[in-house]
């Protein structure tokens, strides 16, 4: 009995210390939460949770500005600005002059992309078609005329005009899917969070196929600031899964795991730092549904913002400082006998607030 009491005494003391620390922290929060300045002071003095985000945002901004001089596999500024021109083209009524403030930097970036041969053909075609349509309909201004001259000179030198018609189109021309509401509901209910999988390898080509349609998801200014780091090696899959805190007890059973990673290098300003999470979540939901139609089940795994866990995953995946993990996604063929939590869902009476 004495031995038992000796063992639990340190545990009891730790529990008491933790309760005391929690009470002090709660008191500190009440004091420091009164203003924005004192709130920032609290995190500077007592809590380092946001330090990684601070560095990631700054590293992302550096990478963004570097991308304006050296374009790699895509050009964020061009993707954003071409989409802005698209929105100008569909305005009702459409202005005679629009895009005046950014057309110069857009054409300069386009010229650099062509000179460096730095973008894939489908992206380049989109740039050309939208820019050609823009210069066809927009009226004159000193900025537009200067950009127009540069644009047509680049196209003439490169002989790349009139490739296709990747330009805005009317809603009535969209092909209509032959899917009923009831069928869609069935797919939504079929997709469950699956944690138990058959001992079968996942064909990466199926993941590629699903990603190709999942990327039809909307993203802010069509920047698509995410990548899917797909791991298939059994040992590495478990290591990646174990980086998260919600995989205890089933990480060994996962066949393939995808880290959905956001790229803060897509933005020049701090105001957009959370867009990676919005866009990443939108595309991942479509990816899960697409995989479901291919016979593959998934489980979205929450990613904790804990520095030690971030470091573990960064090392395993070779992530850059401006890349932030949004979530992990387990993928595999569901074990027919594997259990599925019932997970009661809220309905519209809980979730809709009509604002009048």
In tens, the pLDDT along 43-72 reads 998 888 889 999 999 999 999 999 999 988
pLDDT bucket at 163, cuts 50 / 70 / 90: low
Mean pLDDT across 237-254: 95
pLDDT bucket at 9, cuts 50 / 70 / 90: low
Q: What is the pTM of this model?
A: 0.90
What are the CA-CA distances from residue 299 to residues 30, 227, 328 (Å)? 37, 18, 8
State the greatest distance between any 2 C-alpha atoms of the chain, in Å, as a whole number: 92
User: What is the per-residue pLDDT for 337?
Assistant: 96
User: Do 257 and 231 form a contact (C-beta atoms < 8 A)?
Assistant: yes
- Give the strands of the sheet with 323-332, arranged side by side: 226-231, 256-263, 323-332, 297-302
Whether the predicted pLDDT of 297 surpasses 60: yes
pLDDT tens per residue across span 77-98: 999 999 999 999 999 999 999 9
User: Do 133 and 89 form a contact (C-beta atoms < 8 A)?
Assistant: yes
User: What is the per-residue pLDDT for 20?
Assistant: 82
User: What is the per-residue pLDDT for 226?
Assistant: 97
Structure tokens of 344?
Answer: 């009661």
Whether the predicted pLDDT of 4 surpasses 50: no
User: What is the per-residue pLDDT for 18?
Assistant: 80
User: What is the per-residue pLDDT for 116?
Assistant: 92
pLDDT bucket at 5, cuts 50 / 70 / 90: very low
């Amino acid at each position: 009995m004495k031995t038992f009491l000796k063992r639990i005494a340190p545990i009891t003391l730790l529990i008491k210390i933790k309760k005391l620390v929690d009470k002090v922290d709660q008191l500190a929060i009440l004091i420091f939460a009164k203003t924005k300045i004192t709130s920032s002071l609290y995190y500077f003095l007592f809590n380092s949770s946001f330090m990684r985000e601070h560095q990631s945002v700054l590293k992302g901004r550096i990478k963004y500005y570097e991308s304006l001089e050296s374009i790699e596999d895509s050009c964020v500024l061009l993707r954003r600005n071409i989409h802005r021109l698209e929105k100008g083209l569909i305005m009702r009524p459409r202005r005679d002059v629009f895009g005046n403030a950014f057309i110069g930097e857009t054409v300069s970036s386009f010229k650099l992309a062509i000179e460096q041969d730095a973008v894939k053909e489908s992206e380049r075609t989109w740039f050309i078609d939208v820019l050609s349509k823009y210069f066809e309909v927009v009226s004159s201004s000193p900025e537009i005329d200067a950009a127009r001259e540069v644009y047509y000179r680049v196209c003439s030198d490169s002989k790349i005009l009139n490739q296709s018609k990747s330009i805005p189109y009317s809603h009535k021309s969209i092909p209509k899917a032959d899917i009923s509401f009831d069928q869609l509901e069935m797919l939504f209910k079929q997709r469950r969070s699956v944690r138990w999988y058959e001992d079968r390898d996942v064909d990466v080509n199926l993941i590629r196929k699903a990603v190709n349609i999942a990327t039809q998801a909307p993203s802010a200014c069509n920047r698509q600031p995410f990548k899917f780091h797909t791991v298939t090696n059994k040992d590495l899959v478990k290591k990646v899964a174990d980086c998260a805190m919600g995989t205890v007890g089933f990480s060994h059973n996962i066949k393939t795991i995808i880290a959905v990673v956001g790229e803060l290098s897509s933005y020049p300003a701090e105001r957009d730092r959370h867009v990676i999470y919005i866009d990443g979540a939108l595309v991942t939901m479509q990816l899960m549904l697409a995989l479901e139609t291919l016979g593959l089940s998934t489980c979205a795994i929450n990613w904790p913002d804990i520095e030690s866990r971030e470091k573990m995953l960064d090392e395993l995946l070779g992530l850059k400082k401006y890349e932030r993990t949004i979530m992990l996604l387990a993928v595999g063929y569901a074990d027919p006998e594997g259990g599925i939590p019932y997970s009661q869902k809220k309905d519209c009476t809980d979730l809709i607030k009509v604002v009048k």
